[in-house]
Amino acid sequence: MKATLVVLPGDGIGPEVTSSAVQVLRTIAERGGHQFTFTEHLIGGCSIEKHGVALTEETLQACKASDAVLLGAVGGPKWDNPNSPVRPEQGLLAIRKGLGLYANLRPVRSHPALLNSSPVKADRLAGVDMIVVRELTGGLYFGEPKGRIKERTGERAVDTMAYHDYEIVRIVELAFRLARSRKKKVTSVDKANVLETSRLWRQIASDIATRNPEVAIEHMLVDTAAMRLITSPASFDIMVTENTFGDILTDEASVLAGSMGMLPSASLGDKGPGLYEPIHGSAPDIAGKALANPIGSILSSAMLLRHSLGLEQEALAIEAAADRAITDGCRTADLGGKLTTQEMTKEIIDRITEK
C-alpha cells in the first residue's frame, strides 16, 4: 500500500521519539512491501520561532492532504508565558480543530512486568486494560464566549463549556462501537449533578444505550471516576467523557501504566487523516539527552497503522514487539533502566523483524 505521512516532531523530546516511530514504520513498510512517504513540518514552539505562529496554514494543508499525521510534542520553558499571544499549545488545538479530530482514543494498560513501576498498589493494577475516549473539539477548550474583560471594579475571565447534541452523539456512538469489539461495557463520565452540558450528555448517552442493549452502560460522576481510577482501575473498559474531564482523567490514568512514556493516542474524525501522538509532553528537562522512552510514540505508530491505514496485523506486530521488549527487561530511564531512546527502539525493531 502507498501512504503519505506527515511527521510533526515539535519541541523537546518530540523529535527524538517521532524518529523512533518513523524507524518502526519504515521497518513495517520494508517487510510488507508498503510505500510510506514521510514529510516533516513544524508545529509548536519551533514553528513560532520560524514563522511567528504555532501552526501555519501550509502545514495544516499538508496534514489535510496526507493519509495520517504523526506528532511528537509541543511546548517548552522558552514559550511558557501564558500571557503571550502565541503559544505552542495553540498549534495542537488548531490542528485538532482544523482536521475535525473530535475523538481522542487513549488506551491505558498495565504491563504485568511494570506493576511495581506505578505508585498504585500492584494488586489493584493487575488486568488494567481500558480505553479513554475523550471528546476533543468541544467543551471548555473551544466554547464561546472566551476571554478577559476589563471591568470598572477589576477584571473578569470567561471560558464557556458548551456542547451541541450532535457532538455528544458522535463521540458516545464511537465509544459504543469500540465497546462492541471489547468487553461490551461503557462508562460515561459527566458531572450531571451540577452541569447542564453534562445533563444533555447523560440523556444522549442513555438514549444511545437503549438502542444498544448488548452494551452495558454505567454513568459515573467525574469526581467518583477520579477516585475509582485509583481504587478499582481494572473495573473500567471503555470510558467516554468530554474534553476537559478527559484531559485530567487521562493524566491520572497514565500513572497506572507505570510511566507516561508508555502511552499512545489516536485522534480521529469522521473522514480525513488521523493524528497520532504519545500522551506525554515535550519533557524539556530530558530533551536532547537520549533518555526519552520511545514506546508511547512507537505504539502511536501502531495505532496509525490500525486506524488510518487498516493494517491491523502490522499494528499487532508492533504492539507485541513492544510488549516483549518490556517483558524481556528492556527499560529506559523513566522505568528505572539504562537504555537510551535509540537502544530501546532497536530492541523493539529487532523483535518485529525476528522470526
Residues that bind ligand IPM (CB under 6 A): 89, 92, 247
Select from 247, 314, 323, 334 the one that contacts Mg ion (CB under 5 A): 247
Cβ partners under 8 Å of residue 64, min gap 6:
98, 99, 272, 273
Is 191 assigned a catalytic role? Answer: yes
d(CA 166, CA 132): 20
Q: Give the DSSP H or E segment for 2.
A: strand 2-10
11, 67, 102, 141: the catalytic one is: 141
Inter-residue contact 309 to 1 (CB < 8 Å): yes
The active-site residue out of 11, 237, 247, 323 is 247
Quote the least distance from Cβ 23 to Mg ion, whole Å: 26
Concerning whether 247 is annotated as a catalytic residue, the answer is yes
Residue 159 C-beta: closest distance to ligand IPM, Å: 13
Q: Of 80, 165, 207, 223, which residue is the catalytic one?
A: 223
| Among Mg ion, ligand IPM, none, partner that 89 touches (CB below 5 to 8 angstroms by kind) | ligand IPM
To the nearest whole angstrom, how small is the minimum distance from the Cβ of residue 89 to ligand IPM?
4
What is the distance, to the nearest Å, from the Cα of residue 302 to the centroid of all Cα atoms in its chain? 13
CA distance 185 to 178: 9
Q: Answer yes or no: 123 catalytic.
A: no
Indicate which residue of 11, 102, 191, 323 is catalytic: 191
- Gap between the Cα atoms of 240 and 248, Å rounded: 13
Q: Does residue number 277 form part of the binding site for Mg ion (CB under 5 A)? A: no
Minimum CB distance to Mg ion smaller for 73 or for 295: 73
Identity (one letter) of the amino acid at 105? L
Is 276 annotated as catalytic? no
Question: Regarding beta strands 2-10 and 35-40, do their DSSP bridges make them parallel or antiparallel, or are they unpaired?
Answer: parallel
Separation of alpha carbons 295 and 353, rounded Å? 17
- Assess whether 67 carries a catalytic annotation: no
Residues 191-230, one symbol each (x = binds Mg ion by CB under 5 A, - = not), give ----------------------------------------
